[in-house]
Amino acid sequence: MHSIVERAKRVLAENDLGAWTKPSPKLYPHQWNWDSAFIAIGLAHSNLGRAKTEIRSLLRGQWRNGMIPHIIYNPEATGYYPDPHVWQISLSPDAPLASLTSGITQPPMITLAAFEIARRDRDLDFAREIYPALVHCHRWFYRERDLQNLGLTAIIHPWESGMDNSPRWLEILEQIKLTAPLQYQREDDILVPAYERPTNLDYEHFIFLMNLARDLKYDENLLSWCAMCYSTQFSIVRMTRCVNLPRCLVNPLRKLNNGCKRDIRHSKKSCGMKMTRCITITMYAMRA
């Protein structure tokens, strides 16, 4: 076991770029949303300060509407498609000004990562620092992606699932009828064996959906009509920590400032209120 732990630490260290960690040396040279969350959970076991930096770095790419994109681009890295120029996020008024990102999201593992860090460190300052951004993110999911108030998250692209190369998408993607060849230059099937990557047809479907989101200027009111499906896995990640909480976690809620209390009481959607309350209880329960 000791050998495995040391090897894991070495892998993270070799891909550490200072403020964030790339998922692989060449194939994935940028910062990925839920990859960084999993990495932060791992770092929390050995370097809490560095784990917090990973979370803060991820939040720098948050959009004004609350969405945390699935990629924050490294301006020094090249050879990855799609690059930030393809996404053209400046078409959206919600896009961040200081970061180059994609225009879609991934499961909000960042909340679980933040909880794990705060639970181990009992650092209320860190919890308070990132709390507004996490609430903003979850409110975006409920406002824009819970289309029928079912508590289920709709996704508009397989890449949003975090399991984008899964065969589960084949039946859905086959319904897309491409009428003309798409222009793109992939390099992922050069860096690793092609049989480990999506087929060209699958990739064209991915690019079609990406282009559609871009052409609609990432307007969620329009993209909701393009939702592929509800993702049960995504929804479970979103709702984790919101059920079966120990009673001892409820008391810290009473100590919150009045602004947070009003925010919870006046929530228009019951499911949004539930998530806000759950994040509140989780992030402010470090003394319990």
pLDDT tens digits along 187-231:
888 888 988 888 888 899 999 999 999 999 999 988 877 666 655
**165 or 107: which leads in pLDDT:** 107
Nearest Cα residue to 51 out of 2, 127, 114: 114
Tell how far CA 54 is from the center of its chain: 13
Nearest Cα residue to 271 out of 154, 143, 115, 160: 143
Q: What's the CATH number where 269 sits?
A: 1.50.10.10
- The pLDDT value recorded for residue 258 is 36
| In a domain? residue 30 | yes
| In a domain? residue 120 | yes
Average pLDDT of the residues in 55-82:
96
Tell me how far apart the alpha carbons of residues 154 and 52 are, in angstroms, rounded to a whole number.
Answer: 29
| In a domain? residue 253 | yes
Please count the other Cβ atoms lying within 10 Å of the Cβ belonging to residue 48: 18
Measured between alpha carbons, how far is residue 95 from residues 98, 100, 239 in Å? 9, 9, 26
| In a domain? residue 176 | no
| In a domain? residue 221 | no
Q: Kindly state the percentage of the chain with pLDDT values over 90.
A: 47
Please write the tens of the pLDDT for every residue from 167-180.
878 888 888 888 88
Q: How many domains does the chain have?
A: 1
Please count the other Cβ atoms lying within 10 Å of the Cβ belonging to residue 250: 13
| In a domain? residue 171 | no
Please write the tens of the pLDDT for every residue from 267-284.
334 444 444 444 444 444
Q: How many CA atoms lie within 13 A of 111 on its CB side?
A: 29
> Angle, nearest 10°, between helix axes 270-283 and 109-121?
30
Q: Kindly state the percentage of the chain with pLDDT values over 70.
A: 77
Tell me how far apart the alpha carbons of residues 27 and 6 are, in angstroms, rounded to a whole number.
Answer: 23
| In a domain? residue 108 | yes
Query: Is 132 within 8 Å of 276 (Cβ atoms)?
Result: no
Nearest Cα residue to 30 out of 102, 90, 98: 102
The answer to whether residue 252 scores a pLDDT higher than 50 is no
Tell me how far apart the alpha carbons of residues 283 and 256 are, in angstroms, rounded to a whole number.
Answer: 11
Please count the other Cβ atoms lying within 10 Å of the Cβ belonging to residue 175: 8
Please write the tens of the pLDDT for every residue from 106-162.
999 999 898 889 888 877 889 889 999 999 999 999 899 887 787 778 888 999 988
Range(s) of the domain holding residue 14: 2-154+228-283
Residues 171-179: contacts with CB within 8 Å, 24+ apart? Answer: 172/228, 172/229, 173/202, 173/205, 176/205, 176/208, 176/209, 178/204, 178/205, 178/208
Tell me how far apart the alpha carbons of residues 154 and 226 are, in angstroms, rounded to a whole number.
Answer: 10
> Angle, nearest 10°, between helix axes 48-59 and 124-140?
30
The answer to whether residue 248 scores a pLDDT higher than 80 is no
| In a domain? residue 205 | no
Q: How many CA atoms lie within 13 A of 248 on its CB side?
A: 3
